[in-house]
Amino acid sequence: MTRKLFIKTYGCQMNVYDSERMAEALGAQGYVTTERAEEADMILLNTCHIREKAAEKVYSELGRLKPLKAANPELRIGIAGCVAQAEGEEIMRRAPVVDLVVGPQTYHRLPAMEAAMRAGARPVDTDFPEEDKFEHLPKSRASGPRARRGPTAFLTVQEGCDKFCAFCVVPYTRGAEVSRPATRLLAEARDLVKRGVREITLLGQNVNAYHGEGPDGAEWSLARLIRALAEIDGLERIRYTTSHPNDMGDDLIAAHGQVAKLMPYLHLPVQSGSDRVLKAMNRKHTAEQYLRQIEKLRAARPDLLLSGDFIVGFPGETEADFEATLDLVRAVGYGQAYSFKYSARPGTPAAERAPVPAAVADDRLQLLQALLAEQQRAAQEAMVGREVGVLFEKPGRMEGQMVGKSDHLHAVHVVAEGLQPGDLRRVRITASASHSLAGALI
Ligand code: 5AD
Ligand code: SF4
């Protein structure tokens, strides 16, 4: 019997990846995915808890789903992801429309939970089990080992975080840092390549802390894993995200200069440029140490494009602290970056501290975003006239146009005959628009 599954994914790339795995797991139970919530027999909300009233957003979304359940008595609703982890049983109490709650570490138990749910139970599972949640996920018929994939894919190599930054819920919702064995990852990567994938982005909340078991029984670093992945024929590009400055080892920095398949783009969040704030955030490094890392990285790979994350209005942040953040941004010169207003997350140490007035934080965010937007524009302009690799992914909006990503992760539009998704071509950049580049095949 075929049932329809609708998954709504919030938050990070890890959730995007997890949603794909959940679709595969439920595919083995006879579910096919749909883009339309109205025709679904099961709706899964894969939630995010990182910022701003996450739980409240989920409860209001559930309110909107209520009529669907009234219209279709077969419909079941599940909550997955970090809000599921943080709220657990509380969701069942507050939202009678919910039939299932599953935390990010127990997706391999989803098929059994689904069966229990169809039998009338309201299962909740927010354990942190020992076993690898991906080992047990069955492959569905529709997306089994032979099914073709698009040219790019994510591969989760590590999950969780032991850093305990004072503002962050991740160590609580995703648990302790766990790395997957390298042998398993190499096998999955080879399988992805067989299915048409040419670019793999290695995922982890703290990806550069990767320390999985290698085929030789020794502990492998991320750099070692990347070097082994680079040996796979047909895999053309490797990226990884997200990294912590303190785990940026010399071997990983060296890999940026030596492994041609490792793309010249790095997301390396610093959060603040003030040593006082960095200390209060429990980041365990100074602005100067971060700048030294950037220097070393650029020495290894001069055309490296940098991305980052910033938080403004962290409790105790003064005008001088904020100026130090602007100074750091000017010193680095980011290709692009994300910036957020601090939002207190219940249960984290910073949530107990006196907040910066909202209006002050708003002003700072505006200033920072203006500076980052200017740097992004400049970085794009600097690409004009240069030759880059572009991996094409899909047709563009204009007739005859294809869109892909450059080595530096810029979206690039090209008009050319016969280009196919999955083609990797050399392109001369001819123009820069607000969020993309235009180019011509060489
Ligand atoms: N408030 C604001 N931003 C946050 N981030 C994480 N927690 C918070 C918070 N409580 C941001 C950080 C992190 C990114 C994923 O989200 O910048 O790097
Ligand atoms: Fe959160 Fe990243 Fe800090 Fe870990 S390193 S606690 S995931 S901000």
- DSSP letters, 137-177, are PPPPSTTSTTS---SEEEEE-EE--S---TT--HHHHT-S-
Q: 14-23, 47-56, 357-366 — which one is most confidently predicted on average?
A: 357-366
Average pLDDT of span 358-370: 98
C-alpha distances in angstroms, 400 versus 10, 395, 414, 416, 427? 33, 8, 8, 6, 16
Q: What is the pLDDT of residue 136?
A: 61
d(CA 316, ligand 1 centre) in Å: 16
- Taking 60 as the threshold, does the pLDDT of residue 1 lie above it? yes
- Taking 90 as the threshold, does the pLDDT of residue 308 lie above it? yes
- Tell me the per-residue pLDDT of 32-46, one tens digit each, with 9 for 90 and over: 999 999 999 999 999
Pocket of ligand 2 (CB under 6 A): 161, 163-165, 168, 170-171, 205-206, 244
- Taking 80 as the threshold, does the pLDDT of residue 233 lie above it? yes
Average pLDDT of span 312-318: 98
- Taking 60 as the threshold, does the pLDDT of residue 139 lie above it? no
**Is the Cβ–Cβ distance between 437 and 406 less than 8 Å?**
yes
Tokens at 392, concatenated: 């094409």
d(CA 340, ligand 1 centre) in Å: 7
Residue extents of the structural domains in the chain: 3-134, 136-381, 387-441
Average pLDDT of span 159-172: 95
CA-based radius of gyration for the chain: 22
Number of H helices, E strands in the chain: 13, 19
- Taking 70 as the threshold, does the pLDDT of residue 146 lie above it? no
Angle at 176 between CA 294 and CA 247, to 5 degrees: 15
* Residue 441, burial from CB neighbour count under 10 angstroms (0-12, 13-18, 19+): middle
Which DSSP category does 400 fall into? T
Phi, psi of 5 (to 5 degrees): -120, 130
Q: From CA 194, how far away is CA 179, in angstroms rounded? A: 24
- Tell me the per-residue pLDDT of 378-406, one tens digit each, with 9 for 90 and over: 999 999 999 999 999 999 988 899 999 99
Q: What is the pLDDT of residue 138?
A: 53
Average pLDDT of span 291-313: 98
Cα-Cα-Cα-Cα dihedral sign, residues 289, 292, 297, 300: negative
* Ligand 1 within 6 A of CB of 167: yes
Phi, psi of 93 (to 5 degrees): -70, -45
d(CA 171, ligand 2 centre) in Å: 7
Cis status, amide bond into 242, omega within 30 of 0: yes
d(CA 170, ligand 2 centre) in Å: 6
- Taking 60 as the threshold, does the pLDDT of residue 96 lie above it? yes
Q: From CA 415, how far away is CA 401, in angstroms rounded? A: 4
- Taking 90 as the threshold, does the pLDDT of residue 285 lie above it? yes
Average pLDDT of span 16-22: 93
Q: What is the pLDDT of residue 147?
A: 75
Supply the CATH classification number for the domain 387-441: 2.40.50.140
Work out the pLDDT band at 330, boundaries 50, 70, 90: very high
CATH fold label, 136-381: pyruvate-formate lyase- activating enzyme (3.80.30)
Work out the pLDDT band at 104, boundaries 50, 70, 90: very high
Which DSSP category does 385 fall into? T
* Residue 92, burial from CB neighbour count under 10 angstroms (0-12, 13-18, 19+): middle
- Taking 50 as the threshold, does the pLDDT of residue 141 lie above it? no
- Taking 90 as the threshold, does the pLDDT of residue 432 lie above it? yes
* Ligand 1 within 6 A of CB of 340: yes
Would you say domain 3-134 falls under CATH 3.40.50.12160?
A: yes
Q: What is the pLDDT of residue 53?
A: 80
d(CA 19, ligand 1 centre) in Å: 22
Average pLDDT of span 144-167: 88
Q: Where are the alpha helices (DSSP H) in 195-347?
A: 222-229, 250-258, 275-280, 287-300, 319-332
Stated as kind and residue range, the H or E segment containing 438 is strand 437-441
Average pLDDT of span 124-144: 67
Q: From CA 20, how far away is CA 83, in angstroms rounded? A: 18
Average pLDDT of span 172-192: 94
Q: Which atom of ligand 2 is nearest to the CA of 174?
A: 7
Work out the pLDDT band at 140, boundaries 50, 70, 90: very low
Q: Which atom of ligand 2 is nearest to the CA of 164?
A: 6
